């Protein structure tokens, strides 16, 4: 065995753990998502078997088995496919944060409504103005947690931001 072929035990364990984590990610996919992932039939069968299991220990052993099956294949394309499936979710979260920031700006800055309507012409400024005023009143009354108008303002702003992003290329 050459020095170049040597892999430390720690590195081998890390690689096996990574494959098991990838296998666990496969198990968590919905049936539609799983059907879109290209993989060898033996791996697909192992994942489907694991999805049918209910006992924690059985699932743990099956995920280990999935990791063992994945040793013999190139797992990188599978990891790439899963990453692409999760990408829209990350975009959705980013838009969620944008909506949170807009809500905060709309409540704190009176000029923010004009900027928001300018950026999102399909927004109803009268409805937003009413929600902003109600949220400001709730906040002024010392509400300790998010209350009705504060949440509703977020839902309206989030829907507008999500719709705007959906129409963008």
Predicted confidence (pLDDT) per residue in 109-133, tens digit:
989 999 999 999 989 999 999 999 9
Tell whether pTM > 0.85. Answer: no
Other beta carbons less than 10 A from residue 94's beta carbon? 11
pLDDT band at 158 (very low <50, low <70, confident <90, very high): very high
| Mean pLDDT of the chain, nearest integer | 89
Enumerate domains of the chain plus CATH numbers: 9-73 (1.10.60.30), 87-167 (1.10.60.30)
Q: How far apart are CA 97 and CA 158, in angstroms?
A: 9
Cβ-contact 22, 70 below 8 angstroms: yes
Q: What is the largest CA-CA distance in the chain?
A: 75
Q: What is the pLDDT of residues 89-99, one digit of tens each?
A: 788 888 999 99
Q: What is the pLDDT of residues 40-82, one digit of tens each?
A: 999 999 999 999 999 999 999 999 999 999 999 999 999 999 9
Residue 148 tokens read as 């009705």
Q: How far apart are CA 33 and CA 89, in angstroms?
A: 13
Query: Residue 143 has what pLDDT?
Result: 64
Tell me the three state secondary structure of residue 139: helix
Cβ-contact 140, 168 below 8 angstroms: no
Q: How far apart are CA 158 and CA 123, in angstroms?
A: 11
């Amino acid at each position: 065995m050459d020095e170049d072929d040597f892999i430390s035990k720690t590195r081998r364990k890390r690689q096996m753990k990574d494959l098991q984590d990838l296998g666990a990610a496969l198990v968590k996919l919905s049936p539609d998502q799983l059907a879109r992932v290209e993989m060898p039939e033996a791996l697909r069968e192992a994942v489907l078997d694991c999805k049918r299991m209910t006992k924690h220990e059985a699932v743990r052993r099956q995920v280990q088995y999935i990791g063992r099956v994945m040793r013999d294949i190139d797992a990188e394309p599978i990891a790439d496919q899963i990453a692409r499936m999760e990408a829209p979710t990350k975009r959705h979260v980013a838009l969620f944060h944008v909506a949170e920031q807009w809500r905060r700006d709309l409540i704190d800055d009176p000029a923010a409504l004009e900027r928001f309507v300018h950026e999102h012409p399909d927004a109803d400024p009268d409805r937003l103005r009413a929600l902003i005023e109600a949220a400001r009143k709730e906040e002024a009354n010392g509400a300790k947690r998010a209350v009705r108008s504060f949440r509703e303002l977020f839902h309206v702003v989030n829907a507008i931001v999500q719709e705007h992003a959906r129409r963008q290329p």
